[in-house]
């Protein structure tokens, strides 16, 4: 029993790290451009299918494809901002939500047309190697995915705290008008944030694509999961997002272990509703208040 709980916890932390890294892109975009990326999950699925397509044609370790996919996704995010978001950025934010929802329809349908509706998975040599933590075996892919997330989150935190780009981003996030008056090109920074936020999906997509089973219609699930983490974390706080990602990951894996049937899948949603009822500010409100 105790062993089961511990292995569930470790599994939850590993998944949670990856979920946090997945959501941080969305958090950044929300912080800087005040828009919620409802196409986040679909863009993630696009990145995973890119990995799948590359792994079918080139026979090297799929994790290396991140080197190609990340710049591609970053360009896509940048183009997305200038093509679709920039024209309507001064309008009501729910208009952008609908636009991005429409975009996610387009992405999902394109994947369905391009790859068909069959279940796919990416073969990785790391899937058959195991690492033992506290008596439970985890695949090498999971370990690498979680470590990439951990390192990525650390690098991102350092960059935002210490680099000029990070200072600019924080300035725009704190006061858009003041940043503009101080001579920052807010539009350019917003475009770069979209590139960064979407590009980060290209880093985490190769390990995730060997963990989960791919179908074209899972985009919305990832969007909703990211939204849950974003809101539970407190709408735009990076530290809150990381905490929320860990909590949602742990809740998911413990729910799958101990709750009957598919009720485990309820937990993230129940967590969201509960947090909104009790602490509308999310985890960030808890952190800041103390």
For another protein, the binding residues (CB under 8 A) are 36, 84, 87-88, 91, 93-95, 97-99, 101-110, 112-113, 117, 216, 220, 224, 227-228, 231, 235, 260-263, 265-266, 269-270, 272-273, 276-277, 280
The CB-of-136 to another protein minimum distance in angstroms stands at 27
**Closest distance to another protein from the beta carbon of 265 (Å):** 5
Query: Least distance to another protein from the beta carbon of 99, Å?
Result: 5
Give the nearer residue to another protein in terms of CB position, either 14 or 26: 26
Nearer to another protein, 39 or 66 (CB): 39
DSSP secondary structure letters along 226-265? HHHHHHHHTSS-HHHHHHHHHHHHHHHHHHHHHSSGGGGG
Q: Which tokens belong to 234?
A: 């407190």
Radius of gyration of the chain (CA): 19
Shortest distance in whole angstroms from residue 133 CB to another protein: 30
Nearer to another protein, 28 or 156 (CB): 28
Q: What is the distance between the alpha carbons of residues 128 and 134, in angstroms, rounded to a whole number?
A: 19
Q: Which residue lies nearer to another protein by CB, 149 or 226?
A: 226
What dihedral angle (degrees, nearest 10) is formed by the CA atoms of 244, 245, 251, 254? -150
- In our burial notation (b when 16+ CB lie closer than 10 A, e otherwise), range 158-170 reads eebeeeeeeebbe
Minimum distance, C-beta of residue 262 to another protein, in the bound complex (Å): 5
Q: Name the residue nearer to another protein (CB basis): 145 or 282.
A: 282
**In the complex with another protein, which residue's Cβ is closer, 83 or 183?**
83
Cβ count within 10 A of residue 142? 22
Select 205 or 235, whichever has its Cβ closest to another protein: 235
Distance between CA atoms of 221 and 63, rounded to whole angstroms? 23
Q: How far is CA 171 from CA 157, 168, 180, in A?
A: 15, 5, 9
Provide the minimum distance between the beta carbon of 222 and another protein in the complex, in angstroms, as a whole number. Answer: 13
**Cβ-based nearer residue to another protein, 5 or 106:** 106
* CA proximity to 282, closest of 233, 245, 243, 247: 233
Are 11 and 169 within 8 A, CB to CB?
no
Q: Judge whether 247 and 271 are in contact, CB under 8 Å.
A: yes
What is the smallest separation between the CB atom of 258 and another protein, expressed in angstroms? 15
Strand intervals (E) in the chain: 130-133, 136-139
Smallest distance, Å, CB 225 to another protein?
Answer: 10
């Amino acid at each position: 029993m105790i062993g089961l709980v511990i292995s569930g916890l470790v599994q939850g932390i590993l998944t949670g790290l990856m979920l946090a890294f997945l959501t941080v892109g969305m958090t950044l975009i929300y912080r800087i451009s005040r828009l919620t990326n409802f196409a986040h999950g679909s863009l993630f699925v696009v990145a995973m299918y890119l990995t799948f397509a590359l792994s079918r044609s080139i026979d090297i370790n799929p994790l290396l494809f991140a080197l190609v996919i990340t710049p591609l996704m970053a360009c896509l995010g940048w183009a997305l901002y200038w093509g679709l978001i920039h024209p309507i950025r001064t309008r009501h934010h729910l208009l952008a939500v609908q636009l991005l929802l429409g975009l996610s329809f387009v992405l999902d349908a394109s994947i369905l047309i391009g790859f068909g509706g069959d279940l796919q998975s990416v073969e990785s040599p790391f899937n058959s190697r195991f690492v033992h933590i506290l008596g439970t075996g985890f695949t090498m892919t999971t370990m690498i995915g979680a470590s990439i997330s951990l390192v990525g989150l650390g690098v991102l935190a350092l960059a935002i705290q210490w680099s000029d780009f990070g200072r600019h981003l924080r300035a725009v996030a704190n006061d858009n008008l003041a940043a503009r008056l101080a001579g920052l090109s807010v539009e350019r920074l917003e475009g770069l944030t979209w590139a960064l936020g979407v590009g980060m999906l290209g880093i985490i997509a190769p390990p995730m694509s060997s963990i989960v089973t791919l179908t074209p219609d899972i985009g919305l699930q990832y969007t909703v999961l990211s939204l849950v983490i974003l809101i539970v974390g407190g709408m735009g706080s990076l530290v809150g997002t990381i905490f929320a990602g860990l909590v949602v990951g742990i809740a998911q894996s413990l729910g799958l272990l101990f709750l009957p049937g598919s009720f485990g899948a309820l937990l993230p949603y129940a967590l969201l509703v509960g947090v909104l009822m009790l602490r509308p500010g999310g985890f960030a409100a808890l952190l800041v208040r103390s």
